[in-house]
Amino acid sequence: MGVLSGIRVLEFEAIGPAPFGCMLLADMGADVLRVDRAVAAGDLGPKISGKHKNVTGRGRRSITLDLKHPDSADIALELMSKADIVIEGFRPGTMEKLGIGPDAALARNPKLVYGRMTGWGQTGPLAQRAGHDLNYIALSGVLSAIGRAGEAPVPPLNLVGDYGGGGMLLALGVVAALVNVQRGGAGQVVDAAMIEGAAQLGTTIWGLVASGNWREARESNLLDGGTPWYDSYRTRDGHYMAVGAVEARFYAELLEKLGLADADLPAQHDRKGWPVLRQRFAAVFAERTRDEWCRVFDGSDACVAPVLGLSEAPEHPQNRARGSFVEYDGVVQPAPAPRFSATPSEISRPAPQRGEGGRDALRDWGFDDERIAGLLGLAVHS
């Protein structure tokens, strides 16, 4: 019984941010029914070798529908008439060509929240262009600030565009629009664009730029690795420790733990002295292993933490204590977040195979057995 229990979400199969946003809604208790293609499209997503576990597909049931079938529009609109939220991630105009765009959907269900996830947005000169996370964050301005000085910008995985600026923004948008509906407002379209979401994630940086407190050259600022006390350092065993000792009292504790409290060092904010500080920090961190440094900094406020691998993070005492990772369907994965005190989120089911659970989902959505049989007899399969 999550915070979104009773909310019906109709998701059209996509990759990246839209499924992630729907995962968040499903974790919070929404009943997410995914409309999959009848046969997997060869170019739908990147080729992944081996048995791929679709973690972001968790919490759904599935029906399959050939959207090019003559009866598909009527079927989709009938499903939309029973949904609270629709999520789609096609290029602008695709749903309209299929006869299931926002105008048609809202005519059938005036209270519907119609979420649209794209990279460039529904309008503008690039709206019809293909792209991926890296392209969107490049034009947002954010990518230019990530990386080492004198080197190419570093792709921050696909977290800034697809997931932070995409899926999370989409989930927030559709929930906000749903609150408006429940207050008596009309249904509406939520146009979530990754280029704009990525820019929003950088709002603080734009403020620093405007105030003259941010240089556009990479690795020359407080939060981009420019300062020696906000960076990562290699340890003797080839691992790294992350240092974030920004405030003066934390910086003082960092020096004490490193054995440099009485060393003749430049002042913390002496920009000309930063190369000296960086060199000294690097030399000291290289003297011990990562585990040894963890013991040194254990219980301190020096803002130093080990850089853990993806397989190591779930075993850290902090993550274990909070249950931040769970093993579900044989896969260790992040647990639902954030935490709700009265209506906790949970993973309700693993990602479905195409069409898995469709019959039960249709019944739960209010279709009687006769209508379900008709739908299944056309283009939908259980």
Q: State residue 370's pLDDT score.
A: 87
pTM beyond cutoff 0.85 = yes
List of residues 6+ apart from 101 with CB closer than 8 A: 93, 95
Fold designation for 230-234+240-306: formyl-coa transferase, domain 3 (3.30.1540)
**pLDDT category of residue 311 using cuts at 50, 70 and 90:** very high
Same fold, 8-201+325-378 and 230-234+240-306: no
Q: What is the pLDDT of residues 262-299, one digit of tens each?
A: 999 999 999 999 999 999 999 999 999 999 999 999 99
DSSP E strand boundaries for the chain:
8-12, 31-36, 60-64, 85-88, 113-118, 188-193, 230-234, 240-244, 304-306, 325-328, 331-334
Q: What is the pLDDT of residues 201-218, one digit of tens each?
A: 999 999 999 999 999 999
Q: Would you say residue 96 has pLDDT above 60?
A: yes
User: Looking at the annotation, which residues are catalytic?
Assistant: 132, 162
Tokens of 220: 């020359």
For residues 24 and 294, the answer to whether their CB atoms sit within 8 Å is: no
List of residues 6+ apart from 125 with CB closer than 8 A: none
Domain ranges of the chain: 8-201+325-378, 230-234+240-306
> Which residue type sits at 134?
L
**Alpha-carbon span 141 to 16, nearest angstrom:** 21
Fold designation for 8-201+325-378: Rossmann fold (3.40.50)
Q: State residue 51's pLDDT score.
A: 55
Q: What is the pLDDT of residues 119-163, one digit of tens each?
A: 999 999 999 999 999 999 999 999 999 999 999 999 999 999 999
Q: What is the pLDDT of residues 155-190, one digit of tens each?
A: 999 999 999 999 999 999 999 999 999 999 999 999
**pLDDT category of residue 111 using cuts at 50, 70 and 90:** very high
Q: State residue 381's pLDDT score.
A: 43
Give the residue with greater pLDDT, 49 vs 101.
101
